[in-house]
Chain A
């Protein structure tokens, strides 16, 4: 079956522009997560959805970051007025439920470069 799909795979944009990153989770997975990974570093939690609601937005770095999920499926992460420190790989994961025993299945990420 299809895994988690993220688009675009790479995005290069100028500082100050807005970007939108998309995540298609595995069909039937109710939980969806966004992470940021800077080069050579660990995964930084951004936000988590259970269904279409986000019980925990505490990881969003600033009000320039927002995310939504519709139809308990596709999610978009939007970064407004991008800054150079936003350059990173943005990873999306989904899991069957939100229990801690549910493995998270990751997409290949979007590599974002801010010039």
Chain B
């Protein structure tokens, strides 16, 4: 079957750097995506990795190692507004192209 694991909660202080890890198990891997969701809001797309290595988008970076079935989201210069839930997601070829989301990591940014 397909599954993703990520920590349930992470706490960090404003201005710091935080890393949210994601390990996955799936058949037919087609890339790892990250989404952010504020309380009561809709998930919004952050980044996508299809190949090994680091992708940088402003304060956010995402890393993938396909051989380790592992990725992470790196948030730099944390701001209070970054307090949200972060989900990793993979596309699995199960006859269709089901998207599987992790359970989410709740990030608390403290002043």
Which residues does A use to contact B, with CB under 8 Å? Answer: 4, 33, 35, 41-45, 48, 54-59, 91, 93, 98, 100-101, 103-109
Considering the chains assembled together, what is the distance between the CA atoms of A105 and B102 in angstroms? 17
Q: What are the nearest 10 A-B pairs in CB distance?
A: A56-B96, A103-B45, A100-B30, A100-B91, A55-B96, A106-B42, A43-B101, A42-B103, A100-B31, A42-B101
A104, B45: Cβ atoms closer than 8 Å:
yes
Cα A44 to Cα B48 with chains together (Å): 19
Instruction: Report how many residues on chain B are interfacial, defined by Cβ distance under 8 Å.
Output: 25
Interface residues of chain B, those whose CB is within 8 Å of chain A, are 30-31, 33, 35, 41-45, 48, 50, 87, 89, 91, 94-104
CB distance from A99 to the nearest CB of B (A): 8
Question: Which residues of B sit under 8 angstroms from A4, Cβ to Cβ?
Answer: 42
Q: Classify the interface of chain B: helix, strand, loop or mixed.
A: strand
Bound-state CA distance A56–B91 (Å) is 12
Beta-carbon nearest neighbor of B40 in chain A: A108
> What are 13 A-B interface contacts by the 8 Å CB criterion?
A42-B87, A42-B102, A45-B98, A45-B99, A55-B97, A56-B98, A91-B43, A100-B33, A100-B91, A100-B97, A101-B48, A105-B45, A106-B43
Q: Are A98 and B97 in contact (CB under 8 A)?
A: yes
A55: chain B residues at CB < 8 Å are 95-97
Given contacts A45-B101, A91-B42, A106-B44, contact A56 B33 (CB under 8 A): no
- Known contacts A42-B87, A48-B96, A59-B98; is-contact A109 B42 (Cβ 8 Å): yes
Among B35, B42, B97, point to the contact of A48 (Cβ < 8 A): B97
In the docked arrangement, what's the CA distance between A107 and B43, Å? Answer: 8
Please, which residues of chain B bring their CB within 8 A of the CB of A44?
Answer: 101
Is the pair A101, B31 in contact by a Cβ cutoff of 8 Å? yes
Nearest chain-A residue to B49 (Cβ)? A101
